[in-house]
Amino acid sequence: MKYLIFLFIFFASDEVLACQCREQSFEAQIENADFIYLGKITHSSLVSDIDVSSQLEIIEILKGKPDNLKLDSFAENHMCSVYAVTGLTYVVFGKHGETPRLNYCSPSKLLMKELTAEFELKLKNLRDATNK
């Protein structure tokens, strides 16, 4: 019986484990990013069966100077998916020499008009922290 329970947990947990992220504070996300900006996706293209490359237009630079205006994501259909949508605005955290990736665990996120009070505060703090 223990063996069956172990097998069930092992195989059933694969999808769940895929969504677990290494927690990082908001301050650490800011510190680790070479650049942060708000950008609107102008167009996207499928570059493989599951990879999407999106081009962004800068709305506001919050930190540093971006060395590219791309955002990579996946076109997969599972519970951990985060889709890049043309015409929507994202807050993009990036490192020089790397294309930022939009996924469940990345600090880059969709910026919705209906922001939660918590995220509005984080965005204000981000602007304050990067303007010093």
Alpha helix (H) ranges present in the chain? 2-17, 26-32, 117-130
The whole model's pTM is what? 0.73
Give me the phi and psi of 128, to 5 degrees please: -65, -45
Q: pLDDT of 12-64, one tens digit each? A: 444 445 567 888 888 899 999 999 999 999 999 988 888 899 999 999 999 99
What are the percentages of helix, strand and coil residues in the chain, rounded to 5?
30, 30, 40
pLDDT value for 79: 57
More confident residue, 87 or 1: 87
pLDDT of residue 51: 87
Q: Which domains does the chain have, with CATH numbers?
A: 23-130 (2.40.50.120)
